[in-house]
Amino acid sequence: MAEFVIGPLISLLKGKASSYLLNQYKVMKGMEEQRGKLERQLQAILGIIKDAEMGSSRQEVSVWLKALKKVSHEAIDVFDEFKYEALRREAKKKGQYTTLGFDTVKLFPSHNPIVFRHRMGKKLQRIVRTVGELVAEMNAFGFKQLQQAPPSKLWRITDSIMKDSEKDIVIRSRDDEKKKIVRILIDRASDEDLMVLPVVGMGGLGKTTFAQLIYDDPEIKKYFQFRRWCCVSDDFDVARIASDLCQTKEENREKALQDLQKIVAGKRYLIVLDDVWDQDADKWEKLKTCLKQGGKGSVVLTTTRKPEVARVMAAGEAVHHLEKLEHKYIKEMIQSRAFSSKNPNTDELGDIVNMVVDRCHGYPLAAKAFGSMLSTKTSMQEWKDVLTKSNICNEKTEILPILKLSYDDLPSHMKQCFAFCALFPKNHEIDVEDLIRLWMANDFISPQDEDRLEREYVEIFEELAWRSFFQDVNQTSPIGTHGKREQLRHRTTCKIHDLMHDIALSVMGEECVTIVAGYDRKRLFSGSSRHIFAEYYKIGSDFDTFLKKQSPTLQTLLYVDSNRPMPCLSKFSSLRALQPLILKELPFRPRHVQHLRYLNFSRNMEIEELPEEISILYNLQTLNLSHCNDLRRLPKGMKYMASLRHLYTNGCQSLECMPPDLGQLASLQTMTYFVVGAKPGCSTVKELQNLNLHGELELCGLQYVSEEDAEAATLGMKEKLTHLSLEWSGDHHEEPFPDCHKKVLDALKPHDGLLMLRIVSYKGTGLPRWATNLTVLKNLVELHLVCCTMCEEFPLFCHLRALQVLHLRRLDKLQYLCKDTVSARFPELRELQLHDLERLERWVLAEGTEEEELTFPLLRHLEIKNCPKLTTLPEAPKLQVLKVAEVKEHLSLLIVKSGYMFSLSELEMSVSDTKAVPASQDLQLCQDVEATLSEMILSGCDFFFPSSPPQPPIGIWNCFGQLIILAIKSCDTLIYWPDQVFGSLVSLKQLRVASCSKLIGPTPLKQDPTQLRYQLLPHLRNLSIFDCGRLRELFILPPSLTYIAILNCSNLEFILAKEDAELEHLDRFTPSEHCNDLVSTSMPKQFPLPRLECLAICSCHKMEALLYLPPSLEHLQIQSCHNLHTVSGQLDGLMGLYVANCNKLESLDSAGDSPLLEDLNVKHCKRLASLSIGLYRYSQFRTFAIEYCPAMNMKPIYERQQQVGSLEHRWNMSRAHSSDPAEGPKWRDPKSWKYAIPGHRYQRY
């Protein structure tokens, strides 16, 4: 049964009833008596509400509280309407009606003062009457007034110290157990292809924390080449798990599984599936089949509460039952929270601690909850009270009562903030800033100071996190999935432990509805929900019906991940927070949602401009428009949105300017992107003068800013601004003030607490004094200087002691980073990017001894691209990722010859001009040391494959025994497959070759009939070859291959090596996947590549036949192979078939016979006459398209379509007999090959 936390609601209502704003605009004129009566009633209720909440277990009290909660929400809506009317009158007084015109004025709700007073007077009378009746009942209950002492923080310590202390306790407490599992994973895993080890234990025992300790163990990191973590929770959704492991959002199950196969293929991986509940063996087997494609020694570590789940996943193998923590560690955890890690100062307190330890029964989550709770108690009696209440906790009840006790101990306002989080799915990653905006929208606290509203909510979050109601509080990278920076700051995210989530659900009852996969349909029709979270693509039409039946009292509605049309929401007049779907038009009329405080349109690709009527949402606090790429204009009347506090516009690159007079928004704290326009009616930067902005700000269009306006912006006074970007346009012709860049930048001086600064397209010859002043930039952690092409003076980068990230691009006159070696130290720098620096010659102007040149002690990531005069590399002992792109091979050769190769994990080198190839002896490396490199991408770099001698220097390649991924592009000296190189790459899993225009095939054999070629690359799983126009033949392919993609190799005659093709009496190719035991020349006669699962061939014009395709093949895609006439094999496992523009192809019988085939697309195959598909199978297809195949007999297919219908499937056969390709669209450009070549292009090049 849901609980009642009504005290904060009554306090909020009382505050709204006494608002000064209502008096200022006389919106309650004539209702003063009713208003005063209500205030007195509320004061009486506030006195006893705590006692009433404590007695909610009584039936009659529960009914009374429910009625009080209902009328309180209604009353809040009424007073919000009064407030809205006051704000409307204020906007009218400022001239909004005159500005907007009659058409927009009509959009307002009725604003006739007499009509308004009459309508609202009746509502208020009803509220007062109902509350009066409840007060009378209240008096009959005999409730008592209880005082609630404010929680003390006497024994509190800082959060960071607490976390470090607890982490140390956890590490020590689980160390022996962790070492045991690590040894099992490393020793036993090497004996089998895939090991599954479930970790079983009750909730709150620390299974996830234990798995994290294993996941982050140094030995594990070193041993496993690939690690991924997925939180599974209640629903074992195979597609969702696969896409999470691949870090994509793929919804199609087969495509997600194929992506997963591709990403794990050949790698020795560790995958953690955390918090598994579903014991459906079929689902697990489907996922496990994909995971078996990994390398030998791979491990899946799972955590679960249910032994049944462990048995299913382990398939008879051993499971690990997590041990309870010893009492001494539980005691340490409690004391670390309750006494700042000190021992209790009295024997009596010590005795109580020992008794509390017993109540925890070895559960660390219980210890954290108890410790946090006890830390707020200041007297011995309060400690004893906690101990008395904890009597309900025993071995059978486990820790849930303890967590509930911890919740009950929270102040009322914190209770409802946390209980609201029941809205989110279990294990959902919650954006903390977004959560706080949602709390604000629902008015969960009544702030004494409006200016501190956000700060008070942040303090609530921090307190709840400290008490373990939130966990996994982390900062996420501002870099998006496509490698672009999406915002200036890091985001903070958190999760909720599933037991804590259960507590929130028990409190909220039906008020919160979370609709995800596996949702309970019965709950959709309760009609009493106030907060709804919906992943709409998993719901279908049920949700539309649900919304129609839903009560208008809905306050929060969050849609995620959907493209479906949204139903009209205007009936939800109490709506406070809305995140709608992708849409072109608003799903509501603003006049119907006056109470709206939070509106999230982020990542909406359809919106080009917001309707002017948005500006009448006077209560709106948060408007999120981030990454609305096509948004061009904001409403002109935005200045009248008096309550607006947070405007997110980052990523709105099409925005032309900001609406006028934004400086009137006195409450505005967040404005992430401000673009200065050249047209009349736009805001200038001087509008920032009176705004107390927080967080991040991007200022763009500074070419239109004068020095006076820049000074008026007073950026130096905005001390809560932490991240700042200043950008001029790169178009010189539009700059009305070409000579004032330095003056404008000088006037935009920030405060000295700035953490991140970015300056883009600045055209001044020197930076102002503040930009080179170590005092102003002393706290700077991140600095970007981009396209400052005329600048001759730069900061002393090495003097920025706090700097961790430095990006320098297009600084045409930069010659060095530091002046002397004495100060040439970057003590904190982790990432350095140097791009297009034409004059950069040296790291230090005056270089000293070798020891003095150790300038980057902590550097992990270094990129140097197009810095032609830079010929040396600094010492960076901790460097892991190095990317170099240059015209000549100066740095690339230095990398090869130096010790860099032996410490890196990832290396990318691109050399565009390699005419002078060095002698092979210059490239010899120490063969006694093996490089740790796991990924290498070479573009150009001809010196790796010199044409003379015919084989490259083996001294280099013998050091790459751990290399997993190798990509070769645009290497003109690569004429023959480098067999000796391949012989050294014993761990290689992925090989990608592109644009090697002179590559022909294998090295010609000598005239020796006994000479044979041997299979190489024994663990190769993924082979991609693109744009090698002269290539005629491949090397002998190993049977371990699972994935082959070949594009634009117009001369390719054989996919198998020529000898094997002849041996098998084939003209072309045969595929396979997954193999550990290799043979030399002879292969299985039928299926040389027995484990191939995915084959894609495009524009291989000399290929005539694909024979003996293996039964392992799941996806086959062929396009523009004009001479291909036959495709055959044993394709029992084929799931997807895509064929286009193969005009000589006559038959696809073997492909059509697959019982698993779900997706079939055949287009523009003029001679194709046979596609053997049993008519009984038509209803099983998910997609079915045959177009422009005039030789096909379509009659049986038409007849079957008539029988089964096409409601659930997409059939497209109307153009099957057309012979004109121009009538239809082109099929599948290689860039969009969905199944066969996901992400096949060289994205790094």
Summarize the confidence of residues 483-503 as an average pLDDT.
88
Which of 584, 600, 616 is the last residue before a domain boundary?
Answer: 600
Which of 292, 321, 350 is the last residue before a domain boundary?
Answer: 321
- 532 has which bridge partners? 513, 557
Distance CA 58, CA 75 (A): 25
Domain-located, residue 993: no
pLDDT of residue 1076: 31
Domain-located, residue 445: yes
249-265 pLDDT, tens per residue? 666 677 778 788 878 87
The percent of residues above 90 in pLDDT, for the chain, comes to 38
My answer on whether 482 and 541 are in the same domain is: yes
Distance CA 215, CA 303 (A): 13
Domain-located, residue 579: yes
Does the pLDDT of residue 1079 top 50, yes or no?
Answer: no
**Tokens 């919160």 sit on residue:** 512
Residues 6+ apart with CB under 8 A from 974: 942, 945, 968, 996, 998, 999
* Secondary structure letter of residue 903 according to DSSP: T
> Which of 226-240, 690-704, 886-900 is predicted most confidently?
690-704
Structure tokens at 599: 């509106």
Name the least confident of 279-283, 674-678, 1046-1050. 279-283
Q: How many domains does the chain have?
A: 3
Domain-located, residue 510: yes
198-213 pLDDT, tens per residue? 999 988 889 999 999 9
Burial of 1196 (0-12, 13-18, 19+ CB in 10 A): exposed
Does the pLDDT of residue 160 top 50, yes or no?
Answer: no
Maximum CA pair distance of the chain? 112
1115-1119 and 556-560 strand pairing: unpaired
pLDDT of residue 598: 97
506-555 pLDDT, tens per residue? 999 888 988 876 666 665 556 678 999 987 555 555 666 777 777 788 99
My answer on whether 440 and 582 are in the same domain is: yes
884-919 pLDDT, tens per residue? 998 887 888 888 777 677 778 899 999 987 665 554
Name the least confident of 16-30, 46-60, 162-176, 515-529. 515-529
pLDDT of residue 414: 93
Domain-located, residue 260: yes
Summarize the confidence of residues 455-468 as an average pLDDT.
92
My answer on whether 123 and 243 are in the same domain is: no
Residues 658/634, Cβ–Cβ less than 8 Å = yes
Exposure string for 890-899, b = 16+ CB within 10 A, e = fewer: bbbbebbeee
Q: Band of the pLDDT at 564, cuts 50, 70, 90?
A: low
My answer on whether 136 and 246 are in the same domain is: no
My answer on whether 106 and 209 are in the same domain is: no
My answer on whether 454 and 565 are in the same domain is: yes
Structure tokens at 188: 């036993």
pLDDT of residue 751: 94
Structure tokens at 304: 């679960």
CA dist 135 to 44, 46, 1168, Å? 8, 11, 83
Residues 892/908, Cβ–Cβ less than 8 Å = no
My answer on whether 255 and 114 are in the same domain is: no
Task: Print the domain residue range for 60.
Answer: 7-141
Distance CA 146, CA 158 (A): 31
My answer on whether 438 and 577 are in the same domain is: yes
Which of 141, 163, 178 is the last residue before a domain boundary?
Answer: 141
Q: What is the DSSP secondary-structure string of 1112-1132?
A: T--EEEEES-TT--EEEE--T
What's the number of CA atoms in the CB half-sphere (13 Å) around residue 69? 22
My answer on whether 194 and 135 are in the same domain is: no
pLDDT of residue 1073: 31
My answer on whether 312 and 438 are in the same domain is: no
Domain-located, residue 374: no
My answer on whether 457 and 543 are in the same domain is: yes
Domain-located, residue 232: yes
My answer on whether 460 and 586 are in the same domain is: yes
406-456 pLDDT, tens per residue? 898 898 889 999 999 999 998 899 999 999 999 999 999 887 788 889 999
More confident residue, 345 or 228: 228
pTM: 0.84
CATH code, 288: 3.40.50.300
Domain-located, residue 926: no
Does the pLDDT of residue 1082 top 60, yes or no?
Answer: no
Burial of 210 (0-12, 13-18, 19+ CB in 10 A): buried
